[in-house]
Amino acid sequence: MSKLTIALDIMGGDHGPPVILSASLRAVRQHPDTHFIFCGQRAIIEPALADLNSSQRERVHIEHCEDVVEMDDKPASALRSKQDSSMKRIVELVEQGKADACVSAGNTGALLALAYYRLKTLQGVDRPALVSFMPTAGNHKVLLLDLGANVNCTADTLFQYAVMGSVLAEQMTGKQAPRVALLNVGEEDIKGNALVKMANQQLKQTPALNYIGYVEGDDIFTDYADVVVTDGFTGNVALKSSEGLAKLVVNEAKRFSAANLWTRTMARVALPLLKTIYNRVNPDQYNGASLIGLRGIVVKSHGNASADAFYYAINQAMQEARLRVPEKIKSKIETVLLEQL
């Protein structure tokens, strides 16, 4: 891929353009081989570009969009009434081949609806899935999907998630035959509901995947599997719970270290260790949930993302674009479907 182009929704997110622009300008400076399309209101974007030098400014194109999809807008409203929104424009740019990927921190439901409507799913994929990396023991990461794109799934949908997750894990980590597991309430075959049991049987009969069976919630972070598959309702709860726990641990460590002179002294001694642990569990570096299964690359950042977190989401989109992830998923899906004939 000679020239990479990333479309960014400057208007989305809880904190609005200031945070998104800060991350976006950092991406422009850090990636001199990449072009960016900033979508949003020109009057807000243009002044922020003044700090770029001439060569950096040449790699940024502004697409003026009058409308803004608010965080509380209903997806149907975003599709119908906000025809000139920055969120819609970034998806259109991917659809038209003018951008290799797009990133938004805006309304999740609206982005899912727009992406599904405009880009369509790959052949053999019923519904796209939201997927993101999470930390595990050691220096490894695990892909968890679905994170909320589809709260109600069929066994076929879970099977497709497993195939797509396996491809993404292999491409993003370089690990051959990544271990794929189904999230369940137990590891025994008798455990789980009918949906999970049906998906389990399908996956067992698919030699193209390195399927290792069931995994329980407490093993998501133990490096037991490289890909953990579940429905969107369960996946979203697992994601938000883990993020909440990480914040609790950090806040408790801060509170304890400031309790008295002794704990403040000990905290200063342990500061390098505490920073290392914090960097491992900091949710910001895992920001950027990919909407996989579509005919294009769409990355969803947390709505309350910091500038650092949104920058990580941009990097995620760039990496997937360079690796041509949708094409790899398409090829894998076709291979698996042929094996089932």
Q: What average pLDDT does this structure show over 294-305?
A: 90
33: DSSP letter: T
- Determine contact, residues 234/145, Cβ cutoff 8 Å: no
Out of 68-72, 118-122, 334-338, pick the least confident.
Answer: 334-338
Given a cut of 90, is residue 161 above it in pLDDT? Answer: yes
Given a cut of 50, is residue 336 above it in pLDDT? Answer: yes
Measured in Å, how far apart are the chain's first and last C-alpha atoms?
34
Q: What average pLDDT does this structure show over 275-286?
A: 60
Residue (of 179, 256, 187, 253) closest to 223 by Cα position = 179
Could you tell me which CATH number the domain at 1-125+293-341 has? 3.40.718.10
Given a cut of 80, is residue 194 above it in pLDDT? Answer: yes
Q: Which of 18-27, 78-87, 142-151, 218-227 is the most confident on average?
A: 18-27
- Determine contact, residues 330/294, Cβ cutoff 8 Å: no
Which pLDDT value is given to residue 22? 94
Out of 6-20, 231-245, 248-262, pick the least confident.
Answer: 248-262
Per-residue confidence band for 283, with pLDDT thresholds at 50, 70 and 90: low
Per-residue confidence band for 192, with pLDDT thresholds at 50, 70 and 90: confident
Residue (of 93, 99, 89) closest to 64 by Cα position = 89
Per-residue confidence band for 341, with pLDDT thresholds at 50, 70 and 90: very low
Q: What average pLDDT does this structure show over 268-277?
A: 66
Q: Which CATH superfamily is domain 133-282 in?
A: Isopropylmalate Dehydrogenase (3.40.718.10)
Rounded to a whole number of angstroms, the CA Rg of the chain reads: 21
Token readout for 64 is 């003026």
Would the CA dihedral through 207, 229, 335, 317 be positive or negative?
negative
How far is residue 338's CA from residue 315's CA, in Å, rounded to a whole number? 34
- Determine contact, residues 294/132, Cβ cutoff 8 Å: no
Q: What average pLDDT does this structure show over 101-118?
A: 92
Given a cut of 90, is residue 187 above it in pLDDT? Answer: no
Given a cut of 60, is residue 29 above it in pLDDT? Answer: yes
Given a cut of 90, is residue 240 above it in pLDDT? Answer: no
Is residue 252 classed exposed, middle or buried when 0-12, 13-18 and 19+ CB atoms within 10 A define those classes? Answer: exposed
Token readout for 46 is 């243009």
Residue with structure tokens 């990480």? 246
Token readout for 83 is 């025809």
The torsion angles phi and psi of 109, rounded to 5 degrees, stand at -60, -40
- Determine contact, residues 181/229, Cβ cutoff 8 Å: yes
Which pLDDT value is given to residue 241? 84
Query: Between the CA of residue 17 and those of 60, 105, 116, 134, 306, what are the distances in Å?
Result: 16, 10, 25, 27, 11
SS3 40: strand
Residue with structure tokens 């309304």? 107
The torsion angles phi and psi of 182, rounded to 5 degrees, stand at -100, 130
Which pLDDT value is given to residue 281? 59
Token readout for 96 is 């038209």
Per-residue confidence band for 273, with pLDDT thresholds at 50, 70 and 90: low
Per-residue confidence band for 77, with pLDDT thresholds at 50, 70 and 90: confident
Per-residue confidence band for 274, with pLDDT thresholds at 50, 70 and 90: low
Indicate the pTM of the whole model: 0.86
User: What are the residue ranges of CATH 3.40.718.10 in the chain?
Assistant: 1-125+293-341, 133-282
Given a cut of 70, is residue 232 above it in pLDDT? Answer: yes
- Determine contact, residues 214/199, Cβ cutoff 8 Å: no
Given a cut of 90, is residue 3 above it in pLDDT? Answer: no
Which pLDDT value is given to residue 261? 77
